[in-house]
Amino acid sequence: MSSQSFSRPGAIDLSALNGGGQPQAAPGAAGGGFVIDVSEATFQSEVLTRSMSVPVVIDFWATWCEPCKTLSPILERMATQYDGRFVLAKIDVDANQAIAQAAQVQSIPTVVAVLRGQLVPMFQGAIPEAQVKQVLDQLLEMAVANGVAGRSDPIPGATQQAEGAPEAEVEEEPIDPRFEAAYDAINAGDFDKAAAAYQQVLAEAPADAEAKAGLAQVELLRRTSGSDPGAAVAAADADPADLDAQLLAADIEVVSGRVDQAFNRLIGTVRRVFGDDRERVRARVVELFDIVGGADPRVVKARSALASALF
């Protein structure tokens, strides 16, 4: 990863929110954990500064918001489950209107992430727990690819579950022991070791779909590691004939969650090239299909568009 700040087209720069005073402890918090109440006074230290080393997920909520009462406990449980791989910052929009305005919050609940001081949209509304986990996993992959792969220690004054939230037994999803070495390597940023771990599984079970998808994800992270996302996408947009630039930009768009843009870019490239170049782009599109998931509506739509482009 270059030393430049994380850059993403459409990302919102929050650096102007540098706090209105000295950092203060989150009100009403006790114990140690990964959930913190954030105000305008503590935004700089608790969100912007912290986001340089670990992803910060912001839950915009309000006391009157009924869907928030469903979503917030899910996010709090996830913060405990992920054990410091991200920090959950809870922001009451009524008490912190300047932050909500800077983040362009239109409705609540709204959930966003902050990486290297810039906001990355995640989702709006109360969504199912399984979908929350999927979005968080995508965020963490994106964070690793952009050099924000730290792990937070329990934060003094933070809580593992907000006051008033219903108690729930946290059940860790069991890790398939075949992939444990790969997961550890990914968390450590060692993509070569992770690829080797997946390849070892595939040597014993060549048809293993999960191992294939895992290897494809690692290859994606390895290809995008060290790239400047903003510069790479700008270069591709400036020179549509540069095949390598198109492939890298599409990879970055997938890592950044802009899946439709990535598919549109590569399928448009398929229409313009021939021979070995066309096969190279087609293979990359199919690989990205595997990463996103064959049942994903965006993949279903893009698969049809790719067939039209090829035939």
In the predicted model, what is the mean pLDDT of the chain? Answer: 79
Phi then psi dihedrals of residue 3, to 5 deg? -80, -5
- Estimate to the nearest angstrom the gap between the alpha carbon of 281 and the chain centroid: 25
Handedness of CA 68, 71, 74, 79 (dihedral sign): negative
Q: What is the pLDDT of residue 249?
A: 93
* Helices vs strands, H then E, count in the chain: 12, 8
Separation between Cα atoms, residue 291 and residue 141, nearest integer Å: 12
Please provide the size of the chain in residues: 311
Q: What is the pLDDT of residue 77?
A: 92
Apex 235 CA angle, 233 and 237, nearest 5:
70
Q: What is the dihedral of CA 193, 249, 151, 155, to 10 degrees?
A: -170
- Tell me which CATH code domain 12-156 carries: 3.40.30.10
Q: Which residue is it, tokens 């009157």?
A: 64
Confirm if 17 and 40 have CB atoms less than 8 A apart: yes
> Average of pLDDT values for 172-192?
73
- Estimate to the nearest angstrom the gap between the alpha carbon of 65 and the chain centroid: 25
**Which helix (H) or strand (E) covers residue 56, if one does?**
strand 56-61
Topology of the domain comprising 177-310: 1.25.40
Q: Break the chain into its structural domains and give their ranges.
A: 12-156, 177-310
Q: Which residue is it, tokens 């067939």?
A: 307
- Please tell me which residue in 68, 254, 259, 266 is annotated as part of the active site: 68
Q: What is the pLDDT of residues 17-62, one digit of tens each?
A: 554 433 333 333 322 478 999 998 888 888 888 888 889 999 999 8
Specify whether 65 is catalytic: yes
Q: What is the pLDDT of residues 276-298, one digit of tens each?
A: 999 999 999 999 988 777 777 88
Q: What is the pLDDT of residue 257?
A: 64
- Please tell me which residue in 65, 71, 140, 211 is annotated as part of the active site: 65
* DSSP type of residue 152: P
Specify whether 68 is catalytic: yes
* CB burial of residue 171 (10 Å; 0-12, 13-18, 19+): exposed
Phi then psi dihedrals of residue 134, to 5 deg? -60, -45
- Comparing 244 with 62, which gets the higher pLDDT? 244
**Closest CA relative to residue 9, chosen from 265, 288, 252, 245:** 252
